[in-house]
A and B are shown apart, each in its own frame.
Chain A
Amino acid sequence: MSESIAHHDEHRDDEASKLGIWLFIFTELLFFGGLFITYAVYRHAHPQAFHMAAQQLDVAVGTINTVILLISSMTIAMATTSIQKKDKRTTLILIGITLVLALVFLVNKYFEWSAKIDHGIWPGSPLLEELGKGDTLFFGLYFFMTGLHALHIIIGMILIIVIFVRVRKDKISFDNFQLLENGGLYWHLVDLIWIFLFPLFYLIT
C-alpha cells in the first residue's frame, strides 16, 4: 500500500506522534510502577534487612551514574534545540555525546554488577539464601530493576543511533525533527526512572 504510506508521510502530524510517545511513556511508568509497589511492600516487610543491604551498594558509582544520565538528558535536549537552529554539526556532536554517556553508564553498571557477582551476590545465589529473606528480596529487586533499566538504556541507545543516522542523512532536519524530540522524551523517561532507582537503592539506608 505504497499510496497510503506516501499519504501518511505527506500528512505528517507531529502533534499525533508526540501524543503517541507521551502515552507510551505512561505505559513505561506503570510498567516500572509494578516494581515500585513490590519494592514498597518488601521494604515495609523487611526494613532492617533493606537498610543493611543498601549499605553494600557503592554510593559513589551510583552518584556518578546519576550525573552521567542527567548530563546525557541535557545533551539530547540541546540537540533538539540545535537542530531547530539548523546547526547539523552541533546536533550530531550532542547526540554523539549522549551516546557516549549512555555507554559509560553501562560500563559502570557492568563493573558494579560484576563486583556484586564476585562477592557471590546474584539473584537466587546460595549466599543470598544464607543472608536471609530481606537480603534476597533487596538484591533480587536490585538486579531486576537496574537490569530492566539497563535494558531500557540499550533500547534508548539503539533509538538514538537511528536518530543519529537520520540526522546525518538529513532525514531529520529543522522542519522535521519530531523523531529526535520523541527520542529525547524517551531518553528523559529512562533518566527519570533512574532518578527514582538511585535513592531507593543507594541513598535510603
Chain B
Amino acid sequence: MSSNTTDNTGYKSYLEEDGGRKGIFKWILSTDHKRIGLLYLYAMMLWFCVGVVLGLLMKLELIAPGKTLMEAQAYNATFTVHGVIMIFLIVIPGLPAVFGNFMLPIQIGAKDVAFPRLNLFSWYIYILGGILVIISLFGNGPPDTGWTFYAPYSFKTGTNMLPAALGAFVLGFSSILTGLNFIVTIHRMRAPGMTWFKMPLFPWTLYGTAWIQLLATPIIGITLLMVAGERILGIGFFDPAKGGDPLLYQHLFWIYSHPAVYIMILPAMGAISEIIPTFAKKTIFGYKAIVFSTLAIAFVGYFVWGHHMYTSGMSGAALWAFSLLTFIVAIPSAIKVFNWISTMHQGSISTEIPFLWAASFIFIFMIGGLTGLVLGSLAIDVHVHDTAFVVAHFHFIVFGGVGFAFFGAIHYWFSKIFGRKYDPSWAKTGWIIFFIGFVTLYGPMFYLGIKGMPRRYFDYLEEFHGPNIISTLGAMVMVAGFLIILVNLIKSARHGEKTTEMNPWGGTNLEWQVPTPPPLENFDEIPVIDKATYKYD
C-alpha cells in the first residue's frame, strides 16, 4: 500500500496550491491546466442542466398530440436553444476542454500545456460565448431556427438569433485556441523517450480532434459572420431574392458541422480506449490500428458533409460520392469497436463503474453507428430524412457516445482529480437507471421516424401517440438517473472519503504515477519513458 499512496509530507496538491489568491480568484486567474479543466467542467455542468431541462420540456410537450405545454413558437425556441447549448457549449468543448486539459499534460509527462495563459483565455472566450447565448434569450425572444441556423430562416426570423449565432462564432474561437494549444503541446512537450507511438491513446485522439478544431472551425466562423452580414446589412449572400444561394449556406455549415461530430466523438473514443485496457488488465489490442483509425476518421470526416443534404438538391454524382464516403468513414469507427472487444477478450475484467460506462458506450455507439449507415444510404435517407429517426440516431451517437464516455471518464479519473472517492453503489444505481432511461427515451424514436413522424414539430398525429408516451417516460427515467449521478458526484467531490491512492484501478499511464491529487506542476522531475504504455505483466 505504501508505494501506492501519496506521501503527504512536503507536497502540496494543485487544490491546495492557490498562488496566494483568495476565493474565486484561485480559479479564474489560475493558469494551471488542471484548474482550467475543472473551470470548464463546472461551467459545462451548469449548461448541461439547462439543456436537460429544455430537452425534458420537449419530451413533456410530446407526451400527447396537440398542445400540452407549449405552442409551436415556444417549441421551436426550445429545440433551438437546447441544440445550441448542447452542441456548442457542451459536446464540442466536452472531453477535450475538461479531461483534455486536465489529463493531456500529465499523460504525456509535461508540467502544463504549451501556452497556459492562452488556455485560460480560451476559457474566458468560452464564457463570453455562453453569455451571448444567454443574451439571445431576451429581446425579441429566443431564436427559433434550429441550432443549424439555416438560411433563409436565420435572416428572416424576427427572433433574437444574432447573439446566438455570434455566440457560436465566439465559442469557435475558444475551440480553435484549445486545439492549437494541444497540437503544440503534443508536438513539443512529450516527455523524453515518449515517441509518437508510445503516447497513450487519449492524447492521440485529442491530437486528431485538435486538427479538426483548427481546420474546420474557421469555416463555421466565416459562415456565421456572413449570416450576421445578411441580417445586419442585407448583403444577400444567402438570399435568393438578391442572387444568393441558401444551399451554399448548408454546404458551408456542414463543412464544419460534420467534422464537428468527430470533434465530439474522437476524444470519447480515446477515453474508452483508456478505460477498457485498465479494467480488462490487458494490453490494448491493436494500438496502432486505433491510432491510424483515429487519423483516418479525422481526415475522411472532412469529406462526408453532403450526407446531411441528400434531400436539399445536389447532383446525382455528388450524392453517391457522399454516400460512398459516408460508408468509408464508418470503417475506422468499426475498427475501434473490434479493438475494444478484442482487448476484453480473455482479459480479467473487473466490472467497476467506469467499465460499465465503457461497455454500455460500445453498445449505444454500435446502434448509433449502424443507424448512421441507414441514414447514409441514399434511398432510405429520403424516406427518414428530417424524421424522429434522425433525432434518435444523433442522440445515440452524440449523447450516447460523448455522454457515456464523459460519465465513464469522470468516474475513471474522479479520485485523481478530486482526491476523494465517490459512492460506488449510488454510481452503479445511477448508471443502470440512466442507461434504461436512455434506451427507452431514444429507442422508440427510431420506430416513430420510420413510421414517418417528422422532427421539430410540437404536434403529431394520433397514430404516433403510444411510442411517444414510452419515449417521454424514458426521458423522465433518464433524468432521474442523471440526477442520481450528478448528486453523487457533487457530494463526493465535496465530502467524499479522502484518498491519496495513486493508482486505484491499476492503470498504466503516467496519470497513475503522479500523486493524488497531482501537485501544481504534476511532476517533480519529468519522467523518462522507456516502454510502451498499456503493458500488463
Question: Are A and B subunits of one complex?
Answer: yes
Chain B residues lying within 8 Å of A41, measured Cβ to Cβ, are 245, 248
Given A19-B187, A30-B215, A4 and B115 contact (CB-CB distance below 8 Å): no
Q: Which residues of B contact A28 (CB under 8 A)?
A: 218
Kindly identify which residue among B17, B114, B221 contacts A16, using a CB–CB cutoff of 8 Å: B114
* Interchain CB contact under 8 A, B117 and A5: yes
How many angstroms from the CA of A35 to the CA of B219 in the assembled complex? 9
Chief secondary structure at chain B's binding surface = helix
Q: Which residues of chain A (1-45) have a CB below 8 Å from chain B?
A: 1-5, 7-8, 13, 15-17, 19-20, 23-24, 26-28, 30-35, 37-38, 41-42, 45
> In the complex, are the beta carbons of B242 and A137 less than 8 A apart?
yes
Instruction: For the complex, give the distance between the alpha carbons of A17 and B117 in Å.
Output: 13
Chain B residues with Cβ under 8 A from A26's Cβ? 214-215
Kindly report which residue of chain A lies nearest to residue B233, judged by CB atoms: A123
Complex CA–CA separation, A28 to B173 (angstroms): 11
Contact (Cβ within 8 A) B242 A129: yes
Partner of A137, one of B31, B189, B237: B237
Cβ contacts under 8 Å, B221 to chain A? 31, 34
- Alpha-carbon distance A140/B29, docked complex (angstroms): 42
Q: In the complex, identify which listed stretch (B222-230, B407-415, B422-430) lies at the interface while the others stay far away.
A: B222-230
Minimum Cβ distance to chain A for residue B453 (Å): 35
Residues of chain A within 8 A (CB-CB) of B19 are 1-4
Given A13-B114, A41-B245, A136-B236, check contact A20 B184 (CB 8 Å).
Answer: yes
* Chain B contacts with A in 228-277, Cβ cutoff 8 A: 229, 233-237, 242-245, 248, 252, 255
**Any A CB within 8 A of the CB of B4:** no
Residues of A within 8 A of B32 (CB): 1, 4
Least CB distance from B224 to A in Å reads 10
Is B176 interfacial (CB 8 A cutoff)? yes
Say whether A111 faces chain B, with CB atoms less than 8 Å apart. Answer: no
Contact at A27–B215, with CB atoms within 8 Å?
yes
B386 beta carbon closer than 8 Å to chain A = no
Instruction: For residue B115, give the distance in angstroms from its CB to the closest CB of chain A.
Output: 6
A20→B180 contact, CB < 8 A: yes
Closest chain B residue to A36, Cβ basis:
B222
Q: How many A-B residue pairs have CB under 8 A?
A: 133
Chain B 31-87 interface residues, beta-carbon cutoff 8 Å to A: 31-32
Whether the Cβ atoms of A123 and B187 lie closer than 8 Å is no
Interface residues of B in 484-535 (CB under 8 A from A): 520-521
Residues of A within 8 A of B183 (CB): 19, 23
- Please indicate the chain B residues that have their CB under 8 angstroms from the CB of A123 in the complex: 229, 233-236
Cβ contacts under 8 Å, A168 to chain B? none
Cβ contact within 8 Å between B184 and A134: no
Contact flags B286-301 to A (C-beta < 8 A → 1, else 0): 0000000000000000
Chain A residues whose C-beta falls within 8 Å of the C-beta of B115 in the assembled complex: 16-17, 20
A110 at the interface (CB under 8 A from B): no
- The docked-state distance in angstroms from the alpha carbon of A135 to that of B98 is 48
Q: Give A contacts to B, CB under 8 Å.
A: 1-5, 7-8, 13, 15-17, 19-20, 23-24, 26-28, 30-35, 37-38, 41-42, 45-46, 122-124, 129, 132-134, 136-137, 140-141, 143-144, 148
Closest 10 CB pairs of A and B: A133-B243, A124-B234, A34-B222, A31-B218, A140-B235, A30-B218, A1-B19, A123-B233, A16-B188, A123-B235
10 further A-B pairs in the complex, CB-CB below 8 A; given A30-B216, A140-B235: A3-B520, A33-B218, A34-B219, A35-B222, A41-B245, A133-B236, A133-B242, A133-B243, A136-B243, A137-B243
